[in-house]
């Protein structure tokens, strides 16, 4: 047994060395046309050796370590506790949510401009993640090209304001509806594909949209993007120092207060907050409507759901369209926040980040997804020195989650009745 383990452990340690030493141990550097190679620092080499040692030790004592881990009682799986009554839980939850909402409303007036800006970005990701949650979490359709709908929303606003002088409020529904239309048109043919094929097709679609945006220079400005996207107005009041558009007034003059650049940022934050809450509420209603239950039914067992009379295409299409709609929403807000968009913002990595948020938070769970969106966006900002490791950690986290906790950090809770155990 030990000899067998020993062999395996040695093999694993050697593999660890092979996959880490050549890539980490040598640095390639391009100087003009010449490439030079240099050995990495001693620290890196020690780390590589250490990694191999850890793998060796782990594999050697694998059985014991696994046994010890299994012996530790899991904190979450305590099923003896009397479950809280459903309506009491709902009451507490609604109180907490109201509290958070009030806090979120007044918070921006007391903090720096940078934090409010970041919070707006967080809210945009919340919208995106909630939208993708419908598609991936509830309906079980892996959409790897979600960012395409985000791009449609953003570009719709940018182009409409550029060519037709549309304002933010006029573009918001148009952008969202257009994104939904794209979802409908794309979804119609592809939704009869099986899970993994669907993922690849949506990925291809996302890339096609990005390449088109990049190369259709006459319309989209190509890689240079589109700038000068207007900010939202409050009943025709602009937030800039001077009024840009004929017929508008400026916010600070109307109310007779001094001009402050922060007003604009806070206003945009509040809009995003309202839209994010709107998104969450609408999707929450959908989840409890027959269509929401149909999404889940189809995800759990397609054949059973179809034999109960659900139309596969209609159900999947509705999820796809609704998901795309909210991506369009988020896209419009994003375009307005940045004032400038280019295809750079809509690469596959962005889709992967949104997917990571949904997966980490717990597929289908709204609360989990919102918390994950907050964490994923804020953590790299807090730990600046780790920000370059952000994607590395994302990737690893996605794998680990799938291996150990595929239901996510905060799994989806469904309304259910539990039978009491007989004594």
Partner 1 sequence: MSEATLYFIQQLINGLTIGSAYALIAIGYTMVYGIIGMINFAHGEIYMIGAYTALIAITGLATLGVAWLPLILLVALICAVIVSSAMGWAVERVAYRPVRGRHRLIPLISAIGMSIFLQNYVHLAQGSRNIGFPLLIEGGFDFGSADTFRASLSYMQLTVFVTTFICMTALSLFISRSRIGRACRAVSQDLGMANLLGIDTNRIIAATFVIGAALAAVAGLLLGMYYGSIDPLFGFIAGLKAFTAAVLGGIGSIPGAMLGGLILGVSESMTSGYLSGEYKDVVSFGLLILILLFKPTGLLGKPEVEKI
How many residues touch partner 1 (CB under 8 A)?
Answer: 59
Considering only residues 160 to 199 of the shown chain, the ones binding partner 1 according to CB under 8 A are 189-190, 193-197, 199
Considering only residues 39 to 98 of the shown chain, the ones binding partner 1 according to CB under 8 A are none
Considering only residues 196 to 255 of the shown chain, the ones binding partner 1 according to CB under 8 A are 196-197, 199-201, 203-205, 207-208, 211-212, 214-215
| Residue 309 found at the interface with partner 1 (CB under 8 A) | no
Q: Which is nearer to partner 1, 23 or 314 (CB)?
A: 23
Tell me how far, at minimum, the Cβ of 398 lies from partner 1, in Å.
Answer: 3
Quick one: how many helices (H) and strands (E) in the chain?
A: 17, 4
Task: Report the residue from 95, 278, 386, 389 that binds partner 1 according to the rule CB under 8 A.
Answer: 389
> Who's near 353: CB < 8 A, 6+ residues apart?
125, 376, 394
Q: Which is nearer to partner 1, 203 or 266 (CB)?
A: 203
DSSP at 341: B
In 91-239, at which residue ranges do the beta strands (DSSP E only) sit?
A: 237-238
Q: Which is nearer to partner 1, 65 or 257 (CB)?
A: 65
Task: Report the residue from 1, 3, 28, 71 that binds partner 1 according to the rule CB under 8 A.
Answer: 28
In the numeric block, the tokens 């099986």 are attached to: 194
Q: Which is nearer to partner 1, 23 or 101 (CB)?
A: 23
Considering only residues 125 to 144 of the shown chain, the ones binding partner 1 according to CB under 8 A are 136, 140, 142, 144
Task: Report the residue from 105, 289, 383, 392 that binds partner 1 according to the rule CB under 8 A.
Answer: 392
> What burial class does residue 8 get, using C-beta atoms within 10 Å of its C-beta: 0-12 exposed, 13-18 middle, 19+ buried?
middle
- Provide DSSP, 217-272: HHHH-GGG-B--PPPP-BTTEE-SSS--STT-EEHHHHTT----HHHHHHHHHHHH
> Who's near 220: CB < 8 A, 6+ residues apart?
155, 159, 213, 214, 226, 343
> Distance (Å, rounded) from C-alpha 242 to C-alpha 122?
29
> Distance (Å, rounded) from C-alpha 303 to C-alpha 294?
12
Instruction: Name the segment binding partner 1 (CB under 8 A); options: 112-120, 243-251, 394-402, 411-419.
Output: 394-402
Q: Please provide the distance, in angstroms rounded to a whole number, between the alpha carbons at the two ends of the chain.
A: 44
> What burial class does residue 174 get, using C-beta atoms within 10 Å of its C-beta: 0-12 exposed, 13-18 middle, 19+ buried?
middle
Instruction: Name the segment binding partner 1 (CB under 8 A); options: 176-184, 234-242, 261-269, 393-401.
Output: 393-401
Dig out the tokens for 317 from the structure.
């299409």
* Residues at the interface with partner 1 (CB under 8 A): 15-16, 18-19, 22-24, 26-28, 30, 33, 35-37, 136, 140, 142, 144, 189-190, 193-197, 199-201, 203-205, 207-208, 211-212, 214-215, 303, 348-349, 352, 355-356, 359, 388-389, 391-392, 394-399, 401-403, 406
């Amino acid at each position: 047994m030990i000899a067998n383990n020993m062999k395996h452990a040695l093999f694993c340690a050697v593999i660890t060395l092979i996959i880490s030493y050549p890539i980490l141990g040598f640095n390639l550097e391009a100087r003009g046309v010449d490439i030079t190679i240099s050995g990495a620092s001693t620290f890196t080499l020690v780390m590589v050796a250490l990694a191999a040692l850890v793998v060796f030790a782990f594999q050697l004592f694998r059985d014991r370590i696994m046994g010890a881990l299994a012996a530790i009682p899991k904190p979450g799986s305590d099923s003896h506790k009397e479950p809280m009554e459903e309506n009491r839980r709902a009451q507490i939850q609604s109180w907490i949510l109201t509290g958070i909402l009030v806090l979120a409303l007044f918070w921006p007036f007391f903090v720096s401009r940078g934090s409010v800006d970041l919070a707006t970005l967080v809210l945009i990701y919340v919208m995106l993640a909630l939208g993708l949650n419908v598609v991936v979490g509830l309906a079980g359709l892996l959409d790897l090209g979600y960012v395409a709908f985000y791009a449609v929303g953003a570009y719709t606003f940018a182009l409409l304001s550029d060519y037709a002088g549309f304002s933010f409020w006029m573009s918001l529904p148009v952008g969202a509806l257009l994104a939904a239309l794209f979802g409908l048109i794309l979804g119609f043919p592809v939704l009869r594909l099986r899970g993994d094929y669907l993922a690849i097709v949506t990925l291809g679609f996302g890339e096609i949209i990005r390449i088109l945006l990049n190369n259709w220079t006459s319309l989209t400005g190509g890689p240079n993007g589109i700038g000068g996207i207007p900010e939202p107005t409050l009943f025709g009041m602009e937030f800039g120092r001077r009024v840009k558009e004929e017929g508008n007034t400026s916010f600070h003059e109307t109310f007779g207060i001094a001009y402050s650049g922060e007003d604009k940022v806070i206003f945009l934050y509040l809009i995003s907050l309202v839209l994010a809450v709107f998104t969450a509420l609408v999707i929450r209603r959908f989840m409890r409507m027959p269509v929401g239950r149909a999404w889940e039914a189809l995800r759990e067992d397609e054949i059973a759901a179809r034999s109960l009379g659900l139309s596969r295409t209609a159900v999947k299409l509705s999820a796809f369209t609704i998901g795309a709609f909210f991506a369009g929403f988020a896209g419009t807000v994003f375009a307005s926040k940045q004032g400038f968009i280019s295809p750079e913002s809509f690469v596959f990595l962005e889709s992967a980040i949104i997917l990571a948020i949904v997966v980490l938070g717990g597929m289908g769970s709204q609360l989990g997804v919102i918390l994950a969106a907050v964490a994923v966006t804020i953590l790299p900002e807090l730990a600046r020195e780790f920000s370059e490791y952000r994607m590395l950690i994302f990737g690893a986290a996605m794998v680990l989650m799938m291996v150990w906790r595929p239901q996510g950090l905060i799994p989806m809770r469904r309304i259910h009745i539990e039978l009491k155990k007989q004594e």
